[in-house]
Amino acid sequence: MVMQIIKFFYRPYLLRIKPWIIRRMGVTLGTNCRVYTPLANLDNIAPRLIRIGDGCCLSRGAVILTHDFSRYGFDRPETKPVTLGNNVFVGKNAIILPGVSIGDNCVVGAGAVVTRDVAANTVCAGNPAAPICTYDEYLRKAAHS
């Protein structure tokens, strides 16, 4: 009986954040999105500046920031919008900084720090994130492995 209760509460789908909660924060969230990251990792200073397209997946620990206190201090943060296109995958512990736009069909590798815009159909990783290959090349490599 105890094992059944434990198995019930540790199902992967229960780790996902419900879309209505994210929308209630002010984030523009597309359809068929999966968010496995705690709400604290989505910007809480200006969540209305986050736009996430259809079919996106944010892995656990992914951070999206729309504010920057370093330029003007704590009195007035600089805020810039962050846009994720359709079918974007953001890997575990990746950080997306303010003002970044990520195109459609992109993969952001685990632990990447995205400081600049990412073109559509691109796979990027690293600190700072740099393009590794195109999305089509990535799919071909994944099919052969």
**CATH code of the domain covering residue 133:** 2.160.10.10
- As separate numbers, helices (DSSP H) first and strands (DSSP E) second, the chain gives 3, 15
Evaluate whether residue 89 is within a structural domain.
yes
How many domains are contained in the chain?
A: 1
Evaluate whether residue 2 is within a structural domain.
no
Evaluate whether residue 5 is within a structural domain.
no
Q: How large is the average pLDDT for residues 99-118?
A: 96
Evaluate whether residue 62 is within a structural domain.
yes
C-alpha of 13 from chain center: 18
Q: Is 67 a catalytic residue?
A: yes
**What is the pLDDT at residue 68?**
84
H/E stretch holding 27: none
Evaluate whether residue 1 is within a structural domain.
no
Evaluate whether residue 100 is within a structural domain.
yes
Evaluate whether residue 10 is within a structural domain.
no
Confidence band (pLDDT; 50, 70, 90) for 8? low
Q: What is the mean pLDDT of the chain?
A: 87
Confidence band (pLDDT; 50, 70, 90) for 20? confident
Look at residue 123 and tell me whether its pLDDT is greater than 60.
yes
Evaluate whether residue 97 is within a structural domain.
yes
Report pLDDT digits (tens) over 28-67: 999 999 888 776 588 888 899 999 999 999 998 899 999 8
CB neighbour list of residue 135: distance below 8 Å, 6 or more residues apart: 105, 106, 107, 121, 122, 123
Query: Of 124 and 18, which is predicted with more confidence?
Result: 124
CB neighbour list of residue 84: distance below 8 Å, 6 or more residues apart: 51, 52, 53, 56, 90, 96, 102
pLDDT > 90: percent of the chain: 59
Q: Catalytic one among 16, 34, 67, 92?
A: 67
Task: Give the residue numbers spanning the domain of 19.
Answer: 15-144
Tell me how far apart the alpha carbons of residues 97 and 49 are, in angstroms, rounded to a whole number: 12
Backbone angles phi, psi at 99, to 5 degrees: 85, 5
**What is the pLDDT at residue 43?**
86
Q: Which residue has the tokens 């296109």?
A: 85
